[in-house]
Amino acid sequence: MKKSISITQGLQSLFGTYDRNIRFLEKSLSVQFQTHNGTLEIVGNNGGVTVAENILRDYATLVDEGMRLDNGEVESLLKIAVDDPSRSVREIATSLRSRPLGKKQVTPKSLNQRLYVEAMETHDIVFGVGPAGTGKTYLAVALALTALQNHSVSKIILARPAVEAGERLGFLPGTLQEKVDPYLQPLYDALYDLCDRDKIDRWLEKNIIEIAPIAFMRGRTLNECFAILDEAQNTTPEQMKMFLTRIGFNSKAVITGDITQIDLPQGKRSGLIEAIDVVSNISGIAFVWFNEKDVVRHALVQEIIKAYDAYNQARGHNGKQPTGPELNEQAPVRPSHSTRPSDE
């Protein structure tokens, strides 16, 4: 099948540096692009050509109407449009507009990241499950800071299990806070990256932002609070139940974790895995499943994750993400469906 599109100024802006965006569409949709006498010819199978044509025409129309996206937003738009052809480019572009937050502009960079942000905006409890580098913690902290600055909540609580990642650190000197801070450093990193250090320090000093091991949550009720439980795969079932039952009025809770990186002692069941089994069908709780396509770190991280998945499969290990619910517009949870694509 072959289709032709006139190369307008709007369409030219889509090509990217060294035609990077066009190459991405070729690889993702199994099509080929050829320029000929001021037109762009799309050659390939019917499905791929149709999707590519719709993306190109819609994008050119948006640019001609005055919409401007930076390079990162264009790349994100194309990734989402390829993964979810049912969504119009206009709808995706509108949802991808950067959100100003302190010194940062926060933009979802993949379909699952967009679903994750939408879930946090519309649900009181959200689980973000998937490999490292997919933005689970970073986006949750960004939404928490937004809620705090908009006065939607009066407090942020960031909790993490204090579990050693395979090594034995032994006795740590200092106060209790100094002992646990090394385990919580990734949360500090996200806060300082997203907002001015002086403002974060003031909020920490006034206890408006509280960073603590999950054990500190016992016996509390969290009202008007945005609570994030990070590295939840390292919670015990008792800790997970305790955290989920802390949620009070006008509060949100986000639970993030990677079930392929559990550091609990041998034979100890992960609280995150148990929670997936127990609460996945409760209306009002959203699950968003990430995969290697959502990784926003170095491009090699995607390949490393895929390589470990293949290695675990070959050895018969259950190293891959299990089938789980995925957020959609009709229901908070869609059981028995995973967003993980088949390995190529």
- Tell me how far apart the alpha carbons of residues 16 and 306 are, in angstroms, rounded to a whole number: 27
42 membership: H or E segment, kind and range: strand 39-44
- Tell me how far apart the alpha carbons of residues 314 and 343 are, in angstroms, rounded to a whole number: 13
The confidence score (pLDDT) of residue 154 equals 95
Q: Quickly tell me which residue has 């995150």 as its tokens.
A: 272
In terms of residues, how long is the chain?
A: 344
| 3-class secondary structure, 308 | helix
Q: Which amino acid is at 157?
A: I
- How does pLDDT run along the chain (344 residues), one tens digit per residue? 888 777 777 777 788 777 888 888 888 899 998 887 888 888 888 888 889 888 888 888 888 887 777 777 788 788 888 888 887 887 777 766 666 655 667 777 777 888 898 899 999 999 999 988 888 999 999 999 999 999 999 999 999 887 644 444 455 565 555 656 666 788 888 899 988 899 999 999 999 999 888 878 888 888 999 999 999 999 999 999 999 999 999 999 999 999 988 888 888 899 999 999 999 889 889 999 998 878 876 667 767 877 887 887 787 755 444 444 444 333 334 333 334 333 33
Q: Which of 183, 186, 188, 189 is nearest to 169 (CA)?
A: 183
The confidence score (pLDDT) of residue 332 equals 39
Q: Which amino acid is at 133?
A: G
The confidence score (pLDDT) of residue 216 equals 80
- Taking each helix axis as running N to C, give the angle between helix 237-244 and helix 271-279, from 0 to 180 degrees, rounded to the nearest 10: 50
Strands, DSSP E only, in 95-251?
99-101, 104-106, 125-129, 155-160, 209-213, 225-229
218: buried, middle or exposed (CB in 10 Å: 19+, 13-18, 0-12)? exposed
Query: What string of DSSP letters covers 232-284?
Result: GGGS-HHHHHHHHTTB-TT-EEEEEE-TT---SPTTPPPHHHHHHHHHTTSTT
Q: Which amino acid is at 93?
A: A
- Tell me how far apart the alpha carbons of residues 126 and 326 are, in angstroms, rounded to a whole number: 11
Q: Which of 183, 203, 182 is nearest to 192 (CA)?
A: 203
- Tell me how far apart the alpha carbons of residues 241 and 255 are, in angstroms, rounded to a whole number: 12
DSSP state of 13: T
Whole-Å CA distances, 296 to 176, 301, 302 = 34, 9, 9
The confidence score (pLDDT) of residue 176 equals 54
Residue 148 · residue 225 · CB < 8 Å: no
The confidence score (pLDDT) of residue 163 equals 62
In this prediction the pTM is 0.71
Whole-Å CA distances, 260 to 47, 97, 163, 270, 323 = 34, 32, 15, 11, 13
Whole-Å CA distances, 224 to 101, 251, 316 = 20, 5, 45
